[in-house]
Chain A
């Protein structure tokens, strides 16, 4: 299409009385077509689903960290309970002295222990 023809087409396409759809197609056929880069779709999808994947990985990491924390915490609580039970069985009470392992020790025996006599 020659320059004057395309100019006429542009002006007439803006006339409210004309069929805009038909004229838009004619304008497109004359070479006025628009599209994005060939890799546009892949880029859009990578932008959306790539970000989503990173987000999902982050959530998965936090979930695993939580589950690991629960396991460590439960093991710790079980160990403390076992320790308390064993102290109670060995010392017969749960006093501070029992915890320190000096529940049935006399002061003299401590002095002897330190002075080596």
Chain B
């Protein structure tokens, strides 16, 4: 099927994308780009570098679509790719400098055009970004999944391949840390 895919279901989009249909894969990107942006930008900060990782997520998805068996939702599959690539990027940066990420995010904040003139909205985003960036990545990923993506602890455990108990304990520690950080903001 060529043409508009706006009403197509997931399996149809996946099959068409496997067959090399640009429009079909474009529809997948459009449907999930915000979800990927929340994970990648929540973890790396709202920076230009996050764009590259976002692109990489979809490139990797395209090349692994034929391996997608459909056992899990496509969203979960994409989310796992996004988490893995983001955590790899954090590890890669840590090798260069342990201070790099914090400094970078203090320096380069990007706000959507729609946020201009909306002080309160900008405030909210700044608080969330600063709180997230103050956390250790292993807590940050849990908070991102919960606070920005709205996943339950069970879903978070499934995406991160962690035991539910680990997610709960990390969530509890993250909450304590965020409480301390947020008071200072």
Q: Which residues of A contact B (CB under 8 A)?
A: 1-3, 6-7, 10-11, 13-16, 20-25, 27-28, 30-37, 40-41, 43-45, 47-49, 52
Complex alpha-carbon distance, A69 and B36, angstroms: 49
Residue contact A6 to B123, C-beta cutoff 8 Å = yes
Complex alpha-carbon distance, A108 and B43, angstroms: 96
- The segment from B3-11, B72-80, B125-133 that touches chain A is B125-133
Q: How many residues on chain B are close to A (CB under 8 Å)?
A: 51
Interface residue SS majority, chain B: helix
Residue contact A24 to B30, C-beta cutoff 8 Å = no
Known: A10-B131, A27-B128, A36-B36. 4 other contacts (CB 8 A): A3-B123, A32-B125, A34-B34, A35-B34
In chain B, residues 97-129, which have Cβ atoms closer than 8 Å to a Cβ of chain A?
Answer: 112, 115, 118, 120-125, 127-128
Pick the most buried of B26, B151, B171: most chain A CB atoms within 10 A of its CB. B26
In the assembled complex, which residues on chain A have CB atoms less than 8 Å from the CB atom of B1? Answer: none
Complex alpha-carbon distance, A16 and B128, angstroms: 19
Mask for B40-54, Cβ within 8 A of A = 1, else 0?
A: 011000100011001
